């Protein structure tokens, strides 16, 4: 199969590289000359474990190439995926589809024989219909089927998610397109990944509903965490206890500082807007969005409370800045709100993140970056764990205690057993668990 990926951002690059790894021939296209030049020079512009190796192997095997122009490769393609960005539109939270429609028009102008055009970008319900209308009205002579095929990749685990998906959702009722999509995903079918065919609008809604449900699940456990803390229960055990019920499931029940990233905040908001437009509001999701926004601010207050209610003139060491581990992505990261609250409270903030510091420098206010947790802990009045990177899970507590001014750990990801931290003489404040005061 010849596949073209329009947009070589996170989704396009991961999907393109993995399709090439299945044996298809893939061209990843991007308008950014700098990005294509970098990719051609073997540089991968995002941090995703395992991606560099797959890109390199498939380039060497001649199955993966990059281009700034879509026309030559689209002309020969069986399938063209649209994987361009759909950011939140400024002001109203709707998904901005400018790039999607622009890509669709360019693709239609370039296709030759029967071609399947697939939206992989997260697009509101009805976008496929609109693309089809554009094709019908502006390119009536072209033979194109429009399909929805949302992605469910998690940053940091994208390669595994792509190769071992729980399901592949394909929205089309066109018989020829169904055959082509079966062929595209045949290698996964051999891995027994279910291909789930449905109507295009249904497929578009599945993507939003899935992300909104997961965001709601996290928000639910976050509220139970607050309640646990007040009434003396342990949220981790509550999560385990309810998660053993197969109807609930144990995934996405880790209480924390609130969800962030490039997907949940944007997609929940877009679903809220779409539902309002159709006069069928999704109140659970509206509430989820509001609770999550408040939570990030509440986390700032939690840190201040752990520092005896005042951080003025104190030094706070922040471990982890990215919205989750194994990524360099800072988009909507809880750290942004937390660091701001600390700066507003008069604290000096020193931070360390294994991958996110470059991106953080453009986003966070005046803070100091260090080379490891021990360096930033020197003379600190508290350590705050904001992102659960592996390297923070087994810190040398004895060493930290000797360098800190005041041994306090605020663990917003619950990665330490309270008793172990307390044993070393720390004050320990976690999420939804009993605090250990010095
Ligand atoms: C999410 C979905 O999990 C993917 O299925 C989807 O494809 C993707 O959005 C997308 O729409 O592109 P991602 O944003 O990469 O993936 O990251 P997640 O692992 O889902 O985490 C999102 C946020 O929720 C993070 O801030 C994370 O720390 C938080 N989270 C997650 C929790 O606080 N608790 C949990 O139990 C799980």
Within a 10 A sphere around the Cβ of 297, how many other Cβ atoms?
15
Span from the CA of 347 to the centroid of ligand 1 (angstroms):
30
Nearest ligand 1 atom to the CA of 10 is: 12
Together in a domain, 165 and 42: yes
Read off the pLDDT of residues 99-113 as tens digits, 9 standing for 90 and up: 999 999 999 999 999
CA dist 274 and 265 (Å) reads 15
Q: What is the mean pLDDT of residues 300-313?
A: 97
Together in a domain, 133 and 269: no
CA dist 206 and 210 (Å) reads 6
Span from the CA of 265 to the centroid of ligand 1 (angstroms):
10
The protein residue with its alpha carbon nearest to ligand 1, atom 30, reads 259
Together in a domain, 242 and 362: yes
* CB of 154 shorter than 6 A to ligand 1: yes
Read off the pLDDT of residues 154-171 as tens digits, 9 standing for 90 and up: 989 999 999 999 999 999
Nearest ligand 1 atom to the CA of 267 is: 11
Strands 315-319 and 382-385 come out as parallel
pTM as predicted: 0.94
Together in a domain, 214 and 172: no
Together in a domain, 137 and 286: no
CA dist 436 and 418 (Å) reads 7
Read off the pLDDT of residues 383-412 as tens digits, 9 standing for 90 and up: 999 999 999 999 999 999 999 999 999 999
CATH number for the domain harbouring residue 347: 3.40.50.720
The protein residue with its alpha carbon nearest to ligand 1, atom 19, reads 154
Span from the CA of 264 to the centroid of ligand 1 (angstroms):
7
Together in a domain, 47 and 190: yes
The protein residue with its alpha carbon nearest to ligand 1, atom 20, reads 154
Residues paired with 95 in a beta bridge: 88
Query: Which residues constitute the domain of residue 102?
Result: 2-198
Of the residues 144, 170, 198, the one at which a domain ends: 198
Residues carrying an active site annotation: 263
Together in a domain, 300 and 360: yes
What residues contact 260, with CB distance under 8 A and at least 6 apart?
A: 296, 323, 324, 331, 332, 333, 334
- What pLDDT shows up at residue 437? 83
Read off the pLDDT of residues 179-205 as tens digits, 9 standing for 90 and up: 999 999 998 877 678 999 999 999 999
Pocket test for ligand 1, best of 7, 51, 214, 240 (most atoms within 8 A of CB): 214
Together in a domain, 275 and 164: no
CA dist 350 and 370 (Å) reads 7
Q: Two tokens at 158?
A: 């994208």
Span from the CA of 250 to the centroid of ligand 1 (angstroms):
15
Read off the pLDDT of residues 204-244 as tens digits, 9 standing for 90 and up: 999 999 999 999 999 999 999 999 999 999 999 999 999 99
pLDDT at position 63 over 80: yes
Percent of the chain with pLDDT over 90: 92
Together in a domain, 273 and 408: yes
Pocket test for ligand 1, best of 261, 262, 288, 334 (most atoms within 8 A of CB): 261
Residues paired with 29 in a beta bridge: 6, 67
Of the residues 198, 214, 239, the one at which a domain ends: 198
Q: Two tokens at 39?
A: 């990719």
Within a 10 A sphere around the Cβ of 391, how many other Cβ atoms?
13
Is the separation of the CB atoms in 405 and 431 below 8 Å?
no
pLDDT at position 291 over 80: yes
Closest CA to 261 of 205, 206, 336: 336
Pocket test for ligand 1, best of 84, 211, 292 (most atoms within 8 A of CB): 211
Q: What is the mean pLDDT of the chain?
A: 95
- What pLDDT shows up at residue 208? 96
Of the residues 179, 198, 217, the one at which a domain ends: 198
Span from the CA of 40 to the centroid of ligand 1 (angstroms):
30
Together in a domain, 246 and 366: yes
CA dist 140 and 134 (Å) reads 9
pLDDT class for 336, splitting at 50, 70, 90? very high
Together in a domain, 227 and 291: yes
Q: In whole angstroms, how far apart are CA 429 and each of 238, 300, 305, 385, 397?
A: 18, 13, 10, 10, 15
What residues contact 137, with CB distance under 8 A and at least 6 apart?
A: none
- What pLDDT shows up at residue 302? 97
Together in a domain, 435 and 326: yes
Q: In whole angstroms, how far apart are CA 273 and each of 22, 131, 401, 428?
A: 38, 20, 49, 40
Number of separate domains in the chain: 2
CA dist 247 and 348 (Å) reads 46
- What pLDDT shows up at residue 33? 94
């Amino acid at each position: 199969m010849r596949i073209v990926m329009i947009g070589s951002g996170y989704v396009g690059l991961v999907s393109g590289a993995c399709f090439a790894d299945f044996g298809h021939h893939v061209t990843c296209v991007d308008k950014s000359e700098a990005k294509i030049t970098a990719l051609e020079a073997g540089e991968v512009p995002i941090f995703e474990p395992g991606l560099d190796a797959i890109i390199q192997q498939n380039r060497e095997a001649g199955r993966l190439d990059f281009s700034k122009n879509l026309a030559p490769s689209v002309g020969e393609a069986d399938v063209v995926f649209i994987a361009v960005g759909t950011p939140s539109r400024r002001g109203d939270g709707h998904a901005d589809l400018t790039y999607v429609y622009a890509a669709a028009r360019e693709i239609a102008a370039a296709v030759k024989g029967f071609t399947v055009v697939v939206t992989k970008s997260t697009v509101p319900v009805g976008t496929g219909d609109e693309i089809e209308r554009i094709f019908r009205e502006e390119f009536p002579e072209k033979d194109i089927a429009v399909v929805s095929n949302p992605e469910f990749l998690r940053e940091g685990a994208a390669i595994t998610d792509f190769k071992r998906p729980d399901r592949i959702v394909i929205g089309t009722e066109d018989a020829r397109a169904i055959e082509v999509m079966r062929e595209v995903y045949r290698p996964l079918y051999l891995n027994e990944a279910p291909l789930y065919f449905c109507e295009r609008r249904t497929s578009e809604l599945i993507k939003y509903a899935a992300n909104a449900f997961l965001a709601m699940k996290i928000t639910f456990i976050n509220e139970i965490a607050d309640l646990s803390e007040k009434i003396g229960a342990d949220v981790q055990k509550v999560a385990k206890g309810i998660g053993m019920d197969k109807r609930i499931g144990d995934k996405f029940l880790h209480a924390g500082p609130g969800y962030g990233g490039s997907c949940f905040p944007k997609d929940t908001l877009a679903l809220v807007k779409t539902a309002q437009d159709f006069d069928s509001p999704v109140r659970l999701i509206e509430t989820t969005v509001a609770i999550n926004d408040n939570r990030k601010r509440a986390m700032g207050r939690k840190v201040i409370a752990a520092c005896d209610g005042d951080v003025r003139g104190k030094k706070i060491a922040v471990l982890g800045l990215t919205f989750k581990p194994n990524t360099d992505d800072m988009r909507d990261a809880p750290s942004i709100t937390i660091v701001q609250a600390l700066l507003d409270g008069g604290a000096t903030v020193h931070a360390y993140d294994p991958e996110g510091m470059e991106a953080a420098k453009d986003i966070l206010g005046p803070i100091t970056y260090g080379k490891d947790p021990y360096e930033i802990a020197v003379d600190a009045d508290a350590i705050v764990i904001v992102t659960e990177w592996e390297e923070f899970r087994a810190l040398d507590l004895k060493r930290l205690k000797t360098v800190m001014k005041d041994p306090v750990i605020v663990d917003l990801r619950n990665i330490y057993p309270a008793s172990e931290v307390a044993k070393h003489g720390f004050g320990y404040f976690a999420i939804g668990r009993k605090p250990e005061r010095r």
